[in-house]
Amino acid sequence: MLDPREINARLERILLTVQKPGRYTGGELNQVVKDWDSVTTRVALVFPDLYDIGVPNLGLAILYDLLNRRADTLAERAYCPWSDMESAMRAAQIPLYALESKHALADFDIIGFSLPYETLYTNLLNCLDLAGLPVLSAEREASHPLVIAGGHAAFNPEPMAPFVDAFVIGEGEEVMHEIVDVFQAWKRRGTARIDLLHALARVGGVYVPALYTASYRPDGTLSALAPNGPEAPALITKRLVAELPAPVTQFLVPNVDVVHNRVAIEIMRGCTRGCRFCHAGMITRPVRERPVEQVLQAIQSALAATGYEEVGLLSLSSSDYTNIVELVQGVSARFKGQNLSVSLPSLRIDSFSVSLMDELKELRPGGGFTLAPEAASERMRRTINKFVTTQQLLDTARDIYSHGWTTIKLYFMIGHPLESLDDVQAIADLCRAVLAEGRKVIGRKAKVNAGVSTFIPKPHTPFQWVACDTMESIGEKLALLKSTLRDPAIKLTWSEPDVTLLEAWLSRGDRRMSAVIYHAWRNGAKFDAWQEHFNIQTWYAAFAAEGLDPNFYSHRQRGLDEVLPWDHISSGVRKSYLLQDYQWSQDLRFREDCREQCFACGILPGFSDMRAGLPDDAWKCPPVKRKKRIPA
Amino acid sequence: MSDIVAPAAPEAALTRVRVTFGKVDTMRFVGNLDMHTVWERTLRRAALPLAYTKGFNPRPRFQIAASLPMGATSQCEILDIWMENPPAADEIAARLARSAPPGLLVIAAQVVPLQSPAMQTRLLSAEYEVLLPTDAPDQPELERRIVELQSAASLPRTWRGKAYDLRPLVEEIVLVEASPARLRLRLSAREGATGRPEEVLAALQLDPLSGQVQRHRLIFRED
């Protein structure tokens, strides 16, 4: 492999020929450059999308921070080069390199990929290939880096099983250290690569796909996915941290524009709302909050360290943060007059949210107000368990317009198999009704932005058994919205049905899907989340070549007794709970916020030892009668 | 810190500070638009009493005198910043130097009269030095090409799809050193009439991307 000096020399010759060369140089404020020879373990953290998307990713920022705090380890970064840079690199025979030291990725001990969404899968293959590494795990040897991956998409690792040596399921803050420790111990032993894989399989929350075999029934469904030997557990349960550690504040500050230029502070992890379509809401339980003072301190340190002019307070449901009023008042009092804008996403649809935003208004010049009703008819609201009455939404809208906002952004979801055209018509009617409220208050200035996404039945959610809506039906529903929402004051945006379809295949796939991914990548699929690259025909061709039916994955109602490709991965939420919730959805039965009442999703018994050592309010699960702990 | 922003403050309370700065290493791959953001964050980190523009979306008030071609280094760039009751110029320079990202050098700061005209409008020319690669043509050949260029009546070229004449923008070309070959270029830098060093290299039939370009001097019209 080329050394950093040679990589730098070759980069000199190509950087001025590509768009935005600042993506490929490193050297940003707050990057951590350690002496390569001063550590025993070197980790390359890769976000397999463009720099502009990867830099703001909070997950990798956390791992970068915690690995670089270890004296014996260094962590550097790499992203996917855009196609102009990729061509230039291939022509100049420059391997994918890490930005800090310009070492080739192949020189690292561990390569860790972040997989927050499925449309990055082909990019992961492309990154390995650009790094000069075999893309198949089975073809890599002891001299090659260990390739690991984690993130929300890893909760169904099967489609990527042959390419990744080990998956991390759940939160990485603690298990990342354990993986480095296991790696170092293996290095000292100097044994074969399989010995490392066995040792990793014994780490809680780590899934080593090579140690499992999938078998199928004649109808193509799984009959089992079982460990090959005693080293590998039959069920891999996600990792979680008992309490959220102090947030990252030394954010990297890129010199070129990226998608989010801001300080991002996670105020809360998990959600108690139980929306049935929401993957994140199911897999990030239980709810843990950061103390107000810790958040305020973190904002202050991060602003001083970065000079950013924007702060994002992240969570799945801001209004549910216990001390939200105190937090908002604290932010407002401490940072007023600093020309700062503060965003508070995922607000509940009620006047309380309007008063919260009002408090922050001075810190948020020009922003719109976003609400996510998701559905517009009572039947669909009950089906998806997001119950907001139309009256409540209209009252909130009126409140928002009368507090000075002129635009309301509304997010909706179409494509649930139980949804009819009447339910979609209700979305259009609701948008018009919201606009009418605005016109009453502020006249012609009132605007509505309606964003419509397409439902994907995600693994580990109560809808994991259901089929995707047909392409014809989605087309009809979108056409209805486009034709009814023609008012110039209403801006309609929607997700491309083809991209949604790919996400459905990849998120619901089994191990055989890997052949399709490999084939599609070989035929040029990459950057599938980008319109200018995505080509659905490449994927249809890949399915055909591998003899698999795409509809089998996306458009088939799965049997309730079927072995699902992700059944060996546990999010801590029991399958029986998901099944019950699925049945409730069919009965149009609403489930309350579980802060009020525990519905026994499985988190508390599954992590009872962890919970037992914590203060009562560390998790926002209500008190339940505790069973006597079984001594270990 | 709520006292630092007073958009309604009278102009008289303002101080204008001129900073000389440099761009080296990876910073030379950062374009001019992004440099504004880089400076804005540097100014915020330095916690200096910046004056903000009025209006819907207030920004700190500062101006960069001249855009620097992508890839070029420089030690002579000029930035004017407006502040309210700032500390002494040396202290400003020190704070900015501490807050600057890698590759952005803060060289000096001085207070200048509030009413002096914008630097952009006073800019006449820019002087560059270009270090050519070792495989560049020899001295007689380079000199021949320079003479040829200088004696041409016009040099029609195209930049980003627009035709223009490069010749009147080239004020001076000197071969400063023969081996390794080093050129000094003085190019017009007036508004709407800016010569680009890589265009001159191309006109000299040299690979425009192969030379290491450094800007040495900005030449301004006297007030």
Q: What are the tens digits of pLDDT across the range B74-121?
A: 999 999 999 999 999 999 999 999 999 999 999 999 999 999 898 989
Nearest to B26 among A25, A307, A365 (CB): A25
* N-to-C CA span, chain B: 37
> Which residues sit opposite B13 in a β-bridge?
none
Residue with tokens 């008992």: A242
Chain B: give the shortest CA distance to residue A439, in Å: 23
Nearest to A25 among B3, B29, B60 (CB): B29
Distances (CA, A) of B216 to A54, A366, B2, B35, B73: 36, 42, 40, 19, 9
Q: Does A547 touch chain B (CB under 8 A)?
A: no
- pTM (two decimals): 0.95
Nearest to B101 among A253, A303, A336 (CB): A253
Chain A: give the shortest CA distance to residue B31, in Å: 8
pLDDT at A625: 62
Q: Does B7 touch chain A (CB under 8 A)?
A: no
For residue A26, give the chain B residue with the closest CA: B26
* In contact, B126 and B68? CB cutoff 8 Å: no
Dihedral, CA of residue A199, residue A124, residue B30 and residue B35, to nearest 10: -80
Q: What is the C-alpha to C-alpha distance for residues A434 and A396, in angstroms, rounded to an integer?
A: 9
CB pairs under 8 A between A and B: 85
pLDDT tens digits along A209-245: 999 999 999 999 999 999 999 999 999 999 999 999 9
Q: What is the C-alpha to C-alpha distance for residues A112 and A132, in angstroms, rounded to an integer?
A: 16
Contact A28 B101 (CB under 8 A): yes
What 3-state class would DSSP assign to A118? Answer: helix
Confidence of residue B6 (pLDDT cuts 50, 70, 90): very low
Find chain B residues with C-beta within 8 A of A25's C-beta: 26, 29
Find chain A residues with C-beta within 8 A of B56's C-beta: 365-366
Angle of the A497-508 helix axis to the A513-522 helix axis, nearest 10: 130
For residue B210, give the chain A residue with the closest CA: A13
Contact B41 A21 (CB under 8 A): no
- Amino acid letter, residue A586: Q
> What number of H helices and E strands is found in chain A?
22, 19
Nearest to B209 among A16, A303, A307 (CB): A16
Q: Does A307 touch chain B (CB under 8 A)?
A: yes
Q: Does A17 touch chain B (CB under 8 A)?
A: yes
Nearest to B34 among A256, A306, A307 (CB): A256
Q: Does A336 touch chain B (CB under 8 A)?
A: yes
* In contact, A217 and A178? CB cutoff 8 Å: no
Mutate to test the interface with B, among A8, A13, A29 (most CBs of B within 10 A): A29
Q: Which of B39, B28, B81 is nearest to B215 (CA)?
A: B28
Residues of chain A with pLDDT below 70 are: 364-367, 625-632
pLDDT at B57: 77
Q: What is the C-alpha to C-alpha distance for residues A401 and A438, in angstroms, rounded to an integer?
A: 6
Q: What is the C-alpha to C-alpha distance for residues A72 and A66, in angstroms, rounded to an integer?
A: 12
Q: Does B49 touch chain A (CB under 8 A)?
A: no
Q: Does A261 touch chain B (CB under 8 A)?
A: yes
Nearest to B34 among A25, A257, A305 (CB): A257
pLDDT at A339: 84
Q: What is the C-alpha to C-alpha distance for residues A586 and A462, in angstroms, rounded to an integer?
A: 11
For residue A301, give the chain B residue with the closest CA: B45
Q: Which two tokens stand for residue B220?
A: 């301004």
Contact A365 B56 (CB under 8 A): yes
Q: Which two tokens stand for residue A51?
A: 């720099």
Distances (CA, A) of A626 to A285, A589, A612, A623, A630: 18, 28, 9, 8, 11
Nearest to B56 among A25, A29, A366 (CB): A366
Q: What is the ipTM for the molecules in this complex? A: 0.92
Do the strands A407-414 and A369-374 form a parallel or antiparallel pair, or are they unpaired? Answer: parallel
Q: Which of A3, A5, A4, A55 is nearest to A30 (CA)?
A: A55
Q: Residues 25..54 of A with a Cβ closer than 8 Å to B: which?
A: 25-29
Find chain B residues with C-beta within 8 A of A307's C-beta: 40-45, 99
Nearest to A27 among B71, B102, B210 (CB): B102
Q: Which two tokens stand for residue A437?
A: 């409220």
pLDDT tens digits along A529-560: 999 999 999 999 999 999 999 999 999 999 99
pLDDT tens digits along A557-590: 999 999 999 999 999 999 999 999 999 999 999 9
Measured from the Cβ of residue B144, the count of other Cβ atoms closer than 10 Å reads 11
Chain B: give the shortest CA distance to residue A27, in Å: 6
Q: Which of A261, A239, A243, A241 is nearest to A252 (CA)?
A: A261
Cis check: omega of the bond before B180, within 30 degrees of 0:
yes
Do the strands A110-114 and A146-150 form a parallel or antiparallel pair, or are they unpaired? Answer: parallel
pLDDT higher than 90, residue B218: yes
Residue with tokens 């014996």: A72
Q: What is the C-alpha to C-alpha distance for residues A250 and A28, in angstroms, rounded to an integer?
A: 12
Nearest to B27 among A255, A307, A366 (CB): A255
Q: Does A308 touch chain B (CB under 8 A)?
A: yes
pLDDT at A64: 98
Q: What is the C-alpha to C-alpha distance for residues A68 and A78, in angstroms, rounded to an integer?
A: 15
Q: Which of A208, A178, A204 is nearest to A195 (CA)?
A: A208
Contact A253 B27 (CB under 8 A): no
Find chain B residues with C-beta within 8 A of A337's C-beta: 1-5
Locate all alpha helices (DSSP H) within A367-496, ordered by sequence.
378-384, 390-402, 421-442, 471-484
**Spatial CB neighbours of B114, under 8 Å, sequence gap ≥ 6:** B11, B14, B15, B16
Find chain B residues with C-beta within 8 A of A261's C-beta: 37
* In contact, A179 and A148? CB cutoff 8 Å: yes
Contact A256 B30 (CB under 8 A): yes
Residue with tokens 């010049």: A365
Nearest to B71 among A16, A27, A308 (CB): A16
Q: Which two tokens stand for residue A245?
A: 């550690």
Angle of the B89-99 helix axis to the B32-45 helix axis, nearest 10: 110
Contact B52 A309 (CB under 8 A): no
Q: Which two tokens stand for residue A482?
A: 């486009």
Contact A308 B38 (CB under 8 A): no
For residue A14, give the chain B residue with the closest CA: B209
Confidence of residue B16 (pLDDT cuts 50, 70, 90): very high
Q: How far out from the chain centre does Cα A26 lie?
A: 25
Contact A255 B38 (CB under 8 A): yes
pLDDT at B8: 47
Find chain A residues with C-beta within 8 A of B1's C-beta: 337-338
Q: Does A527 touch chain B (CB under 8 A)?
A: no
Find chain B residues with C-beta within 8 A of A29's C-beta: 41, 101-102
Contact B42 A307 (CB under 8 A): yes
Give percent above pLDDT 70 in chain B. 94
pLDDT at A296: 98
What 3-state class would DSSP assign to A281? Answer: helix
What 3-state class would DSSP assign to B1? Answer: coil
pLDDT at B160: 87
* In contact, A140 and A168? CB cutoff 8 Å: no
Q: What is the C-alpha to C-alpha distance for residues A95 and A92, in angstroms, rounded to an integer?
A: 9
pLDDT at B4: 40
Nearest to B52 among A24, A25, A339 (CB): A339
